Amino acid sequence: MKNKMLLAFTVLAVLSFEAQGEEASKRAAKAEVSFKNDVRPLLYDHCLNCHSPGGKGYNKSGLDMTTYESLMKGTKFGPVVKPGDPETSTFVMLLEGRANPALRMPAGINGSLYRQHITTLRTWVHQGAKNN
């Protein structure tokens, strides 16, 4: 009987912990992502080596990520961010490796950005890719 009670307590504790984790994830997904505070630092740390004037990615595609305006302008082939639509936004597709695994961005990083960084960028696009 004691073992059954201990097992029941353990199961309830695990379920409670999982529910708290899911709730925290939902709260984080609802929080507004700021271009200035959340997106720009990620671009600066992981993208500007290539995607600023003179960089390899800029020279190939014309994508300049140094400012909000230049990011939203896109490449010489057209826009890469579709505000409100992360599923068809080239920006998100390249980060997630959905466009072409060989073109996964950022280039030169084994694997990709941390999942939390991709989630932040994806959420920003989903929320309308605001200059906030």
107 plus 45 within the same structural domain: yes
User: Token pair of 123, please?
Assistant: 């959420």
Write out the residue range of the structural domain in which residue 88 sits: 32-126
Residue 105 located in a structural domain: yes
Residue 20 has pLDDT above 50, yes or no: no
CA distance 102 to 99: 9
75 plus 11 within the same structural domain: no
Q: What is the pLDDT of residues 85-105, one digit of tens each?
A: 999 999 999 999 898 878 888
Total tally of structural domains belonging to the chain: 2
Report the mean per-residue pLDDT for the chain: 83
| Cα dihedral sign, 15-18-22-23 | positive
Residue 10 located in a structural domain: yes
CA distance 114 to 75: 25
27 plus 58 within the same structural domain: no
pLDDT value at residue 13: 40
